[in-house]
């Protein structure tokens, strides 16, 4: 691709990305009178979405090969335990991340 084609491609990707984010606002322009089913989904969907996002972050982890997902499992349990015990999200996230980096760089190399 030459430069013009690259710039056009970026413009297309940017516009389509914006479109996906704006889609619900286009379909439901009046946020006051949403269908009951949408109001219900607004309640329960975020909780389900974060379950999906966790799996999405781990999509490249293999249980069969390599480290078998152990660094991820250990680090996630660590994050959960620290957060449940100390209720500090930053501490839980940073300790969990540093531990994960240690695990993949040193222990499960």
Partner 1 sequence: MKNNKTLKYAIIKTLPILTGFLFMGISYGIYATSKGLPFYIPILTSIFMEAGSMEFVGVNLLTSAFNPLNCIFITLMVNARHIFYGLTMLNIYTKENLGEKHYRFHKLHLIFGLCDETFSINYQNTVKEGIDKSKFIKYVSTLNHIYWITGCTIGALFGSFIKFNTLGIDFVMTALFVVIFINQFKESKSKYPGFIGIIVTVACLLIFPKDYFLIPSFIIIIVILVIFKNKLRKGETE
Contacting residue, 11, 66, 68, 107, with partner 1 by CB under 8 A: 11
Contacting residue, 33, 62, 64, 84, with partner 1 by CB under 8 A: 84
**Radius of gyration of the chain, Cα coordinates, nearest whole angstrom:** 21
Hey, is 33 helix, strand or coil? coil
74 interacts with partner 1 by CB under 8 A: no
46 interacts with partner 1 by CB under 8 A: yes
CA pair distance 21, 14, nearest whole angstrom: 11
| Residue (of 109, 106, 78) closest to 94 by Cα position | 78
Contacting residue, 17, 66, 68, 86, with partner 1 by CB under 8 A: 17
Closer of 36 and 65 to partner 1 (Cβ): 36
CA pair distance 109, 105, nearest whole angstrom: 6
73 interacts with partner 1 by CB under 8 A: no
């Amino acid at each position: 691709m030459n430069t013009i084609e690259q710039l056009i491609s970026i413009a297309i990707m940017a516009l389509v990305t914006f479109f996906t984010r704006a889609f619900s606002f286009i379909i439901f322009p009046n946020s006051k009178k949403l269908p009951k089913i949408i109001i219900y989904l607004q309640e329960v969907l975020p909780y389900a979405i974060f379950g999906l996002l966790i799996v999405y972050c781990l999509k490249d982890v293999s249980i069969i090969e390599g480290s078998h997902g152990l660094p991820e499992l250990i680090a996630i349990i660590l994050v959960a335990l620290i957060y449940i015990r100390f209720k500090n999200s930053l501490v839980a996230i940073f300790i969990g991340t540093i531990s994960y980096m240690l695990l993949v760089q040193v222990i499960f190399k």
